[in-house]
Amino acid sequence: MEKFKVSVKLHCPAKEVFTGWLNDKTHSEFTGGSKAKTSPNEGGSFSAWDGYITGTNVEIFPYKKIIQKWRTTDFATDDEDSLIELFFTFKDDHTLVTITHTNIPEGQGDQYKKGWKDHYFAYMKKHFEK
């Protein structure tokens, strides 16, 4: 299994990014407009990128941390879900969003690391730094 950590600095409050992650409309907007269905509740399911990504909220610590079971349609049916831990740290005039992504099937880590940067972080910067 593979794992990695990636971060992005956004010039907005942590609460704004945190609540946006768990909001259908905002999550869709900061992934470039791809349809997302989210849940603000622990145990709630979600999907993003028109169903390419699916998962479940494991734990939610308001405005600080979200833990989700996460998988894509690239996972084999017998692959375990991977786990993402999102940390939202507000300091001075920005929020540092850090994603620790673990339990990734062998050979897929690099594509997801690139995906977080290209398909999430780039659009999040545009969305939150208007």
Q: pLDDT by residue (tens digit) across 26-64? A: 999 888 778 899 999 999 999 998 899 999 999 999 999
Residue 20 has pLDDT above 80, yes or no: yes
Amino acid sitting at position 94: H
Mean of pLDDT values over 9-22: 96
Mean of pLDDT values over 22-26: 94
Query: pLDDT-based confidence at 114, cuts 50/70/90?
Result: very high
Domains and CATH numbers, the chain: 2-128 (3.30.530.20)
Amino acid sitting at position 15: K
Euclidean distance between CA atoms 5 and 76, whole angstroms: 23
Paired tokens of 52: 């390419």
Euclidean distance between CA atoms 129 and 122, whole angstroms: 11
* Strand ranges for the chain from DSSP E: 2-10, 45-48, 53-61, 65-72, 82-91, 94-104
Longest dimension (CA), the chain: 44
Exposure b/e, 91-102, CB count within 10 A at least 16 = b: eeebbebebebe
The tokens 């991977």 sit on which residue? 82
Query: pLDDT-based confidence at 1, cuts 50/70/90?
Result: very high
Residue 88 has pLDDT above 90, yes or no: yes
Euclidean distance between CA atoms 86 and 18, whole angstroms: 9
Amino acid sitting at position 18: F
Q: What pLDDT shows up at residue 42? A: 97
